[in-house]
Structure 1
Amino acid sequence: MKQGTIKHMAFFTLKHPLDAKETEVFLKDGRDILSNIDVVENFEVLRQISPKTNFDFGFSMEFKNQDDYDTYNNHPNHVAFVNDRWLVEVERFQEIDYVLYK
Protein backbone atom coordinates (compact mmCIF):
# COMPACT_ATOMS: atom_id res chain seq x y z
CA MET A 1 0.00 0.00 0.00
CA LYS A 2 1.39 3.41 -0.94
CA GLN A 3 1.50 6.50 1.25
CA GLY A 4 -1.80 8.40 0.86
CA THR A 5 -3.76 5.29 -0.08
CA ILE A 6 -6.89 4.67 1.99
CA LYS A 7 -7.78 1.09 2.89
CA HIS A 8 -11.53 0.89 3.54
CA MET A 9 -12.93 -2.19 5.24
CA ALA A 10 -16.47 -3.00 6.24
CA PHE A 11 -16.94 -6.06 8.45
CA PHE A 12 -20.48 -7.35 8.73
CA THR A 13 -22.98 -10.06 9.56
CA LEU A 14 -25.98 -10.58 7.34
CA LYS A 15 -29.54 -11.28 8.42
CA HIS A 16 -29.42 -14.42 6.26
CA PRO A 17 -27.96 -17.75 7.41
CA LEU A 18 -24.35 -18.30 6.35
CA ASP A 19 -25.24 -21.03 3.87
CA ALA A 20 -28.34 -19.31 2.43
CA LYS A 21 -28.60 -18.50 -1.27
CA GLU A 22 -29.34 -14.89 -0.25
CA THR A 23 -25.93 -14.68 1.43
CA GLU A 24 -24.16 -15.86 -1.72
CA VAL A 25 -26.14 -13.41 -3.85
CA PHE A 26 -25.42 -10.48 -1.52
CA LEU A 27 -21.67 -11.16 -1.54
CA LYS A 28 -21.59 -11.62 -5.33
CA ASP A 29 -23.67 -8.50 -5.95
CA GLY A 30 -21.48 -6.51 -3.55
CA ARG A 31 -18.38 -7.59 -5.43
CA ASP A 32 -19.91 -6.95 -8.86
CA ILE A 33 -21.43 -3.56 -8.03
CA LEU A 34 -18.79 -2.02 -5.79
CA SER A 35 -15.66 -3.28 -7.55
CA ASN A 36 -16.92 -1.83 -10.83
CA ILE A 37 -16.83 1.73 -9.50
CA ASP A 38 -13.80 3.17 -11.32
CA VAL A 39 -11.97 4.50 -8.24
CA VAL A 40 -12.11 1.19 -6.32
CA GLU A 41 -8.87 -0.81 -6.24
CA ASN A 42 -8.02 -4.24 -4.80
CA PHE A 43 -11.59 -5.15 -3.87
CA GLU A 44 -11.89 -8.33 -1.80
CA VAL A 45 -14.74 -10.28 -0.26
CA LEU A 46 -13.51 -11.83 2.99
CA ARG A 47 -14.81 -14.60 5.25
CA GLN A 48 -14.13 -14.32 8.98
CA ILE A 49 -12.39 -17.30 10.62
CA SER A 50 -11.38 -15.92 14.02
CA PRO A 51 -13.38 -16.76 17.16
CA LYS A 52 -12.44 -13.30 18.51
CA THR A 53 -15.11 -11.43 16.54
CA ASN A 54 -18.76 -11.95 15.72
CA PHE A 55 -18.69 -10.52 12.18
CA ASP A 56 -18.96 -13.11 9.40
CA PHE A 57 -17.74 -11.27 6.29
CA GLY A 58 -15.79 -8.30 5.11
CA PHE A 59 -15.43 -6.11 2.06
CA SER A 60 -11.98 -4.58 1.67
CA MET A 61 -10.88 -2.06 -0.94
CA GLU A 62 -8.38 0.69 -1.50
CA PHE A 63 -8.53 4.24 -2.83
CA LYS A 64 -5.60 6.26 -4.16
CA ASN A 65 -6.58 9.32 -2.13
CA GLN A 66 -9.36 11.10 -0.25
CA ASP A 67 -10.92 12.44 -3.46
CA ASP A 68 -11.34 8.91 -4.81
CA TYR A 69 -12.79 7.77 -1.48
CA ASP A 70 -15.28 10.65 -1.55
CA THR A 71 -16.16 9.83 -5.16
CA TYR A 72 -16.89 6.24 -4.14
CA ASN A 73 -19.04 7.25 -1.18
CA ASN A 74 -21.15 9.54 -3.39
CA HIS A 75 -21.24 7.28 -6.45
CA PRO A 76 -24.84 6.39 -7.43
CA ASN A 77 -24.04 2.65 -7.51
CA HIS A 78 -22.62 2.75 -3.98
CA VAL A 79 -25.51 4.84 -2.67
CA ALA A 80 -28.04 2.47 -4.29
CA PHE A 81 -26.28 -0.62 -2.90
CA VAL A 82 -26.27 0.86 0.60
CA ASN A 83 -29.92 1.91 0.47
CA ASP A 84 -31.36 -1.10 -1.37
CA ARG A 85 -29.22 -3.94 -0.03
CA TRP A 86 -26.93 -2.99 2.88
CA LEU A 87 -29.56 -1.32 5.06
CA VAL A 88 -32.01 -4.15 4.32
CA GLU A 89 -29.78 -7.24 4.59
CA VAL A 90 -26.96 -6.38 7.01
CA GLU A 91 -27.64 -7.11 10.67
CA ARG A 92 -24.58 -5.35 12.12
CA PHE A 93 -21.32 -3.92 10.83
CA GLN A 94 -18.16 -1.99 11.58
CA GLU A 95 -16.33 0.22 9.09
CA ILE A 96 -12.62 0.94 9.41
CA ASP A 97 -10.50 3.22 7.24
CA TYR A 98 -6.71 3.16 7.40
CA VAL A 99 -3.76 4.97 5.88
CA LEU A 100 -0.13 4.00 6.32
CA TYR A 101 1.40 5.18 9.53
CA LYS A 102 4.27 7.50 8.66
Structure 2
Amino acid sequence: MNNGAIRHMALFTLKYSVGALETEAFLKDGADILSAIPVVQNFEVLRQVSAKCEYDFGFSMEFENQEAYETYNNYPSHQTFVKERWDTEVVKFQEIDLTK
Protein backbone atom coordinates (compact mmCIF):
# COMPACT_ATOMS: atom_id res chain seq x y z
CA MET A 1 0.00 0.00 0.00
CA ASN A 2 1.50 3.33 -1.08
CA ASN A 3 1.48 6.49 0.99
CA GLY A 4 -1.86 8.22 0.63
CA ALA A 5 -3.58 4.94 -0.15
CA ILE A 6 -6.55 3.96 2.01
CA ARG A 7 -7.48 0.50 3.19
CA HIS A 8 -11.20 0.38 3.89
CA MET A 9 -12.57 -2.48 5.95
CA ALA A 10 -16.15 -3.16 6.89
CA LEU A 11 -16.59 -5.78 9.61
CA PHE A 12 -20.13 -7.07 9.90
CA THR A 13 -22.65 -9.64 11.05
CA LEU A 14 -25.59 -10.65 8.91
CA LYS A 15 -29.11 -11.48 10.02
CA TYR A 16 -28.57 -15.03 8.71
CA SER A 17 -26.53 -17.81 10.28
CA VAL A 18 -22.89 -18.03 9.21
CA GLY A 19 -23.44 -21.09 7.00
CA ALA A 20 -26.80 -20.10 5.51
CA LEU A 21 -27.32 -19.96 1.75
CA GLU A 22 -28.43 -16.34 2.16
CA THR A 23 -25.09 -15.54 3.80
CA GLU A 24 -23.13 -17.08 0.93
CA ALA A 25 -25.29 -15.17 -1.56
CA PHE A 26 -24.68 -11.87 0.25
CA LEU A 27 -20.92 -12.41 0.37
CA LYS A 28 -20.77 -13.40 -3.31
CA ASP A 29 -22.99 -10.54 -4.45
CA GLY A 30 -21.01 -8.07 -2.36
CA ALA A 31 -17.75 -9.27 -3.87
CA ASP A 32 -19.12 -9.22 -7.42
CA ILE A 33 -20.70 -5.77 -7.15
CA LEU A 34 -18.10 -3.92 -5.08
CA SER A 35 -14.98 -5.35 -6.71
CA ALA A 36 -16.34 -4.31 -10.13
CA ILE A 37 -16.17 -0.61 -9.18
CA PRO A 38 -13.15 0.70 -11.13
CA VAL A 39 -11.40 2.45 -8.19
CA VAL A 40 -11.54 -0.63 -5.91
CA GLN A 41 -8.26 -2.51 -5.56
CA ASN A 42 -7.41 -5.74 -3.74
CA PHE A 43 -10.98 -6.58 -2.70
CA GLU A 44 -11.28 -9.47 -0.24
CA VAL A 45 -14.09 -11.23 1.58
CA LEU A 46 -12.87 -12.29 5.02
CA ARG A 47 -14.28 -14.57 7.71
CA GLN A 48 -13.70 -13.80 11.37
CA VAL A 49 -11.85 -16.43 13.41
CA SER A 50 -11.10 -14.57 16.65
CA ALA A 51 -13.32 -15.06 19.69
CA LYS A 52 -12.36 -11.48 20.67
CA CYS A 53 -14.33 -9.94 17.79
CA GLU A 54 -18.11 -9.71 17.70
CA TYR A 55 -18.38 -9.58 13.87
CA ASP A 56 -18.54 -12.60 11.56
CA PHE A 57 -17.23 -11.25 8.25
CA GLY A 58 -15.23 -8.49 6.65
CA PHE A 59 -14.93 -6.79 3.30
CA SER A 60 -11.49 -5.29 2.75
CA MET A 61 -10.40 -3.13 -0.17
CA GLU A 62 -7.86 -0.48 -1.04
CA PHE A 63 -8.08 2.88 -2.77
CA GLU A 64 -5.28 4.84 -4.36
CA ASN A 65 -6.21 8.03 -2.49
CA GLN A 66 -9.03 9.96 -0.83
CA GLU A 67 -10.52 10.94 -4.19
CA ALA A 68 -10.81 7.27 -5.22
CA TYR A 69 -12.41 6.45 -1.86
CA GLU A 70 -14.98 9.21 -2.33
CA THR A 71 -15.66 8.00 -5.87
CA TYR A 72 -16.39 4.54 -4.45
CA ASN A 73 -18.73 5.92 -1.80
CA ASN A 74 -20.72 7.83 -4.42
CA TYR A 75 -20.63 5.14 -7.12
CA PRO A 76 -24.18 4.12 -8.14
CA SER A 77 -23.68 0.35 -7.72
CA HIS A 78 -22.19 0.89 -4.23
CA GLN A 79 -25.09 3.08 -3.18
CA THR A 80 -27.60 0.57 -4.56
CA PHE A 81 -25.88 -2.32 -2.77
CA VAL A 82 -25.95 -0.40 0.51
CA LYS A 83 -29.62 0.54 0.15
CA GLU A 84 -30.96 -2.78 -1.12
CA ARG A 85 -28.70 -5.30 0.62
CA TRP A 86 -26.49 -3.83 3.36
CA ASP A 87 -29.21 -1.83 5.10
CA THR A 88 -31.61 -4.78 5.05
CA GLU A 89 -29.31 -7.77 5.74
CA VAL A 90 -26.54 -6.47 8.03
CA VAL A 91 -27.46 -6.34 11.71
CA LYS A 92 -24.27 -4.70 13.01
CA PHE A 93 -21.05 -3.40 11.54
CA GLN A 94 -17.91 -1.37 12.08
CA GLU A 95 -16.03 0.50 9.36
CA ILE A 96 -12.29 1.06 9.59
CA ASP A 97 -10.27 3.25 7.24
CA LEU A 98 -6.49 3.01 7.52
CA THR A 99 -3.55 4.67 5.77
CA LYS A 100 0.21 4.53 6.15
What is the TM-score of this pair, normalised by structure 2?
0.99
Instruction: Describe the superposition over 1:34-75 as per-residue Cα deviations: whole angstroms up to 9, x where unpaired.
Output: 000000000000000000011000000000001100000000
Equivalence for 2:29: 29
Residue identity opposite 1:81 in structure 2: F
Partners of 1:47 and 1:17 in 2: CA distance: 13
Deviation beyond 3 Å, 4+ runs, structure 1: none
Distance 2:85 2:67 in 1: 25
Q: Which residue of 2 aligns with 1:52?
A: 52
Do structure 1's residue 99 and structure 2's residue 99 form an aligned pair? yes
Q: Which residue of 1 aligns with 2:8?
A: 8
> Hey, what does 1:71 align to over in structure 2?
71
Q: Give ranges in structure 2 of 5+ residues lacking alignment.
A: none
**Aligned residues with identical type, % of pairs:** 63
Amino acid paired to 1:53: C
Amino acid at match of 2:48: Q
Q: Distance in 2 between the 1:14 and 1:5 partners?
A: 28
Letter in 2 for 1:91: V
Q: 1:18 deviation in Å? A: 0.8
Separation in 1, partners of 2:38, 2:5: 15
Distance 2:93 2:52 in 1: 15
SS in 1 for 2:13: strand
Q: CA deviation at 1:29?
A: 0.2
Q: RMSD of the alignment, in Å?
A: 0.3
State the alpha-carbon separation in 1 of the partners of residues 53 and 7 from structure 2.
20
